[in-house]
Chain A
Amino acid sequence: MKVSMIVNGSERSGDVEPRVLLVDFLRTNLRLTGTHIGCDTSSCGACTVLVDGEPVKSCTVLAVQAGGRGITTVEGLATAAGLSPIQAGFHEEHGLQCGFCTPGMMLVATSLLERNPNPTEEEIRWAISGNICRCTGYMNIVKAIQHAAAAGQASATAPREKAAAAAGGE
């Protein structure tokens, strides 16, 4: 069946079986492979995307359920001008190692700072508690989110050119 949604600001549509998961639609049909699959039980959060601004585990949502909604994936965080404050925070504070959980973590953090621009450490830890990281022990993920919060940004989509330049290369 036909499904259509706004993904990272652009209307995207496809023809899928009703049983196709949102994560598979994003990864396979749209080739947005930044959204990862880490488990099949909504436990790990690697597949987290924002649906109308709310973090959702896309392995537990059918693509058709997302019809007409606005989806943000990791590919939608940076703009032409550079990385978002959350992305810059993860780079500056070494908030990622293997990078597999990173997209989900950053989207949850983006949503958190939209709601609560100045969270406590406890609030940060609870906010990311649906997302598992096996590499960092969470210490630097917490710092990365604090870094973004301290940067005083309220809008999670406004890029900061300086941070962008720092993380520009591979």
Chain B
Amino acid sequence: MATEVHVHGRIGQSIKRKEDGRFLRGKGNYLDDIELPGMLHMAILRSPHAHARIKSVDTAEASKMPGVLAVVTGELMAQHKLAWMPTLSYDTQAVLATDKVRFQGQEVAAVIAETRYQAEDARDAIVVDYDLLPAVTSPEQAKAQGAALIRDDKENQKDNHIYHWESGNQETTQAAFAKADKVIRLHTFYPRCHPAPLETCGCIADVNGATGKATIYMTSQAPHAIRTVFALVTGLPEQNIRVISPDIGGGFGNKVPVYPGYVVATAASLLIGRPVKWVEDRSENLISTGFARDFHMTGDLAVDKDGRMLALRVHLDSDNGAFFSDAQPSKFKAGLFHIVTGSYDIPTAHVTADGYYTNKAPGGVAYRCSFRVTEASYLIERLVTNAAIELGVDQAEFRKKNFIRKEQFPYHSATGWVYDSGDYHKAMDVALEQLGYDEMRKDVEARRKKGEVTGIGIASFTEVVGAGHGADFDILGLRMFDSAELRVHPTGKAILRMGTKSQGQGHETTFAQIVTEELGIPAADVAVEEGDTDTAPYGLGTYASRSTPVAGAATAMVSRKLRDKARKIAAHLLEAADEDLEWETGRFYVKGSPDKAKTIQEIAFAAYTNVPEGMEAGLEGVHYYDPPNMTYPFGTYAVVVDVDKGTGQVKVRRVVAVDDCGVRINPMIVEGQIHGGLAEGYGIAFMELITFDADGNCIGSNFTDYLLPTAVETPRFELGETTTPSPHHPLGAKGVGESPTVGSPAAYVNAVIDALAPYGVRNIDMPVTSDKVWAALRAAGVNE
């Protein structure tokens, strides 16, 4: 009886974004756009050295400079017990250094002045006397005999080792390796890179001396978690802390952690009684805030003579910088790296990881990735391609032979994951078809005969996103649920608030569409608001592709709660029994009498004007959603590259990306996310690098050194899709924003390795720059 109802903005419709209007007019409200009455500005003095003892900090001259209200040192912070703060990984981190500096760019002192120009002038007048210490810049150096002890502030820390962590089964893995016909090894370094959102991090702390209320505007992807951390660190009562994340100019993980500048600005505002703004410049952002990767990985893949994968063994050394402040679920020291068996039915695996302190910036974050999944996906996909090369088999066929088959889902992996759903063969077939793989392979052979260097790279990634299940996933004990509160107003318009925070992902549109789907209220009539902890329900924030899997599910669930109440109101209005009503998007009607109906708007009005006896007025609710499992988006990416033998320059000719993220709520937004991740993946594969010289000087401290792809080098992307709904998500949706960054670096590099395989090359560490390719060709005796 129900007919298809066309309500604008239902799931699957690529409606234009509701949030665009203000951004197009230059009326976005980013952190640095906010100006409060009496606001002061803070500038941070940072260490020029990677490792040095502080002998003295002389602020006398700086304090006398024009416009200066205060100079804050580590000593002053220590008097208030705020010189150190806890990290998200149960370590401690210096807020302002008191004893030593442990990385170049570490916060040493701060100046608060009337203008930013004045604050920076005075900062430059602070004189710090340092005694230099040897710098440790890699795990290899960190574990060497006689290495300088970085964390001498910690009583029981006798070396630079942070953690050892294991997953899988050592015994069965060893046994499987003993029976292997061939073992393929790949040692590769996934170098340090940086999310580098175009807007840097910052805050405005506004502590009201009269009321004791601290309002902190902050570029935060996780405002609620920040509020709780602030309450714990400062001792302020949590109801007196309000964190507001305004519009955010990109995050990609960089805006998850708590940075020292936030704490200092808040302390300064408390001290001075005026709002204090702190906004990083680009160099501060690149040298001191959440970096990504820096994993040294060795993988061994055991196969039998038929090309079946038998076992996987992986060891990694993680370079965590001076403080272990990775942003990740507390149970997992190396993030979710143990998803490293990827898309393959590998019977047994053993993963070991060791983390090390180095004299480098702390704060390992997942740059557009779900807690180190990118590193895992990169390793297995590189290893699988190398194995195919070593075995002399086609890399696509080799993958298909070893994929988890669709009838095996839910699939229990060797490292303990339960993959919810997948059809890897299908995604592979769609990608190969779209690329014209067989023809392309012939073309590659023909070109090689002519002396060209060209290759095809494939990566068939599996992501694990949407934390948690709360019992397994928490941050500092906060379970990783998320929330949605929905209020439908008397006129049938609504406001939806969530614990997440968009940084460009289009939440104001996507989440309105979920309400549209579930309640039939047009998307244009649903305001979506996030980021204000005084108004939004508690949630863990937006990162690790968790917004749609968790807060999106919460939105669907709260909408359904309201629909249940709406049914009762409709029954009252129609003088029918609840069970005699049928729902179709936007209205209830009496079974068999589709003309006897009440729209959701009529029901909303009645909720405030004419409810049945004994029913509470109003049409609003809140839902806290704790997902039963993660979602497992996947896909196959295929890349074609041409290499210039003379210069080593790699040109990406084709990129085909087939993604399966389950049900797509707004396909336009999903595709936009994929484009962005493929570009960032390109940057990671070929350009982006934070590295250090022997003294620990950061190379890559600005955009002339830390290279980001522009429109000229970024390839054109050809997208494809398959749809395997998540069986446990209320809408069948999975996360997607990070899939392309997780999947594409391996595809790009595999293409280069495929091109260079005839010359015996099996590895080039990222970023795959022309000089490295040229050197590899040179070493293989190729001259042109």
Tell me whether B702 and A39 are in contact (CB under 8 A): yes
Tell me whether B198 and A132 are in contact (CB under 8 A): yes
* CB 8 Å contact bits of B729-760 with A (1 = contact, 0 = none): 00000000000000000000000000000000
Tell me whether B26 and A34 are in contact (CB under 8 A): yes
Say yes or no: is B129 at the interface (Cβ < 8 Å to chain A).
no
Tell me whether B16 and A91 are in contact (CB under 8 A): yes
Known: A41-B703, A46-B198, A136-B676. Is A91-B117 also a contact (CB below 8 A)?
Answer: no
A37–B680 Cα distance when bound, in Å, is 21
Say yes or no: is B80 at the interface (Cβ < 8 Å to chain A).
no
Counting contact residues on chain A (CB < 8 A from B), the size range is 35 or more
Known: A98-B248, A125-B711, A132-B198. Is A31-B16 also a contact (CB below 8 A)?
Answer: no
A168–B281 Cα distance when bound, in Å, is 34
State which residues 87-133 of A face B: CB under 8 Å: 87, 90-92, 94, 96-103, 106, 124-126, 128-133
Tell me whether B28 and A34 are in contact (CB under 8 A): yes
Q: Which one of B71-79, B627-635, B712-720 is at the A interface?
A: B712-720
Residues of A within 8 A of B21 (CB): 91, 167-170
Tell me what chain A mostly uses at the interface: helix, strand, loop, or mixed.
loop
CB < 8 Å neighbour of A97 from B30, B281, B504:
B504
CB < 8 Å neighbour of A141 from B19, B711, B716:
B711
A100–B18 Cα distance when bound, in Å, is 16
> What is the chain B residue whose CB lies nearest that of A106?
B24
A100–B26 Cα distance when bound, in Å, is 9
Say yes or no: is B524 at the interface (Cβ < 8 Å to chain A).
yes
Q: Which one of A61-69, A70-78, A147-155 is at the B interface?
A: A70-78
Residues of A within 8 A of B504 (CB): 97-100, 135
Tell me whether A136 and B675 are in contact (CB under 8 A): yes
Tell me whether A98 and B20 are in contact (CB under 8 A): no
CB < 8 Å neighbour of A44 from B16, B33, B198:
B198
CB distance from A79 to the nearest CB of B (A): 11
Known: A40-B702, A99-B23. Is A169-B524 also a contact (CB below 8 A)?
Answer: yes
Tell me whether A138 and B250 are in contact (CB under 8 A): no
CB < 8 Å neighbour of B282 from A38, A96, A100:
A38
Say yes or no: is A9 at the interface (Cβ < 8 Å to chain B).
no
> What is the chain B residue whose CB lies nearest that of A124?
B711
Residues of B within 8 A of A169 (CB): 18, 21, 524
Give the size of the chain B interface in residues (CB under 8 angstroms).
Answer: 57
Residues of A within 8 A of B19 (CB): 99, 170
Tell me whether A94 and B16 are in contact (CB under 8 A): yes
CB < 8 Å neighbour of A100 from B117, B250, B704:
B250
CB < 8 Å neighbour of A138 from B18, B25, B33, B714:
B714
A19–B117 Cα distance when bound, in Å, is 9
A133–B680 Cα distance when bound, in Å, is 10
Say yes or no: is B619 at the interface (Cβ < 8 Å to chain A).
no
Say yes or no: is B594 at the interface (Cβ < 8 Å to chain A).
no
Tell me whether B250 and A134 are in contact (CB under 8 A): yes
> What is the chain A residue whose CB lies nearest that of B200?
A38
State which residues 7-56 of B face A: CB under 8 Å: 16-28, 30, 32-33, 35
* CB 8 Å contact bits of A21-61 with B (1 = contact, 0 = none): 00000010001111111111101101000000000000000
CB < 8 Å neighbour of B35 from A31, A100, A103, A166:
A31
Residues of A within 8 A of B465 (CB): none
> What is the chain B residue whose CB lies nearest that of A74?
B26
Say yes or no: is B514 at the interface (Cβ < 8 Å to chain A).
no
Residues of B within 8 A of A (CB): 16-28, 30, 32-33, 35, 117, 196-200, 247-250, 252, 281-283, 503-506, 524, 668-669, 671-673, 675-680, 702-704, 708, 710-712, 714, 716-717
* Given A34-B28, A99-B24, A124-B711, 4 more pairs with CB closer than 8 A: A73-B26, A90-B20, A91-B21, A134-B197
In the complex, 17 of the A-B residue pairs with CB atoms within 8 angstroms, ordered by the A residue number, are: A19-B117, A31-B35, A32-B26, A36-B249, A38-B199, A41-B703, A43-B702, A43-B704, A75-B25, A96-B24, A98-B199, A98-B247, A100-B28, A100-B250, A102-B24, A134-B196, A135-B672
